[in-house]
A = this chain, B = another copy of it.
Amino acid sequence: MSEQTKANFHGQGLITESCENAKELYNQSRYGLLQEDGKLRLSLVEGLYLLEKAKIDIFDKRKHKLNFDEYLKKASKHDPNFWIRYVVFKDLRNRGYIVKTALKFGADFRVYDRGVKPGEDHAKWVVYPVHEGSSLTWYEFAAKNRVAHSTKKRLLLAVVDDEADVSFWECRWIRP
């Protein structure tokens, strides 16, 4: 029987205890970043995803165990766009993709092709999650495409509707 891994919430992410389960989350599905001390450092979206899947228990600083809503509220304080990003992360993870942050590429996420683990090959897409109600200037659109082009990835626009459904559009800059 597998106990749930404990993790502590701290502002920008989580740190789990050091245990076999934590190691497996990293080795099998590349959740988080495995530290040398055996603890797993998880991002905010990874945390909620594993909470919803009942893979981890999450505690705040006062040792209070967080439920879904409490977590969502806390995470949204740190990242006003957290919900939209989470919906897209979840959608792609549920489809079998490994999704990692892409801050250093100037995007929200990078996504690896099915069966590919980070490090084995380059990411396939950089992903921008947005809410259907927002709008876009062509300057922003061009910037997103440039980021993808310059990192040799494809641009994936992930638009979240009010029912938390995600529509995906792949774009690329071309010289016709």
Contacts and interface: CB of A to CB of B under 8 A. Distances in A.
A131 B95 CA distance: 27
A37 to B, nearest CB: 7
B10 A142 contact: no
A146 B106 contact: yes
A142 B104 contact: yes
Interface in A58-104: 61, 68-69, 72-73, 76-85, 92, 95, 97, 100-101, 103-104
Q: Is the interface of A mostly helix, strand, loop or mixed?
A: mixed
Instruction: Give the contact-size bracket for chain A.
Output: 35 or more
How many copies of this chain does the complex contain? 4
A160 B12 CA distance: 10
A175 B96 CA distance: 12
Nearest to A151: B146
Interface string A109-144: 001000000000000010010111111111111111
A129 to B, nearest CB: 10
Contacts of A41: 163-164
Contacts of A167: 103-104, 142, 173
A104 B176 contact: no
Interface of A: 8, 10-13, 15, 33, 37, 39, 41, 43-46, 61, 68-69, 72-73, 76-85, 92, 95, 97, 100-101, 103-108, 111, 125, 128, 130-147, 149-151, 156-157, 159-165, 167-176
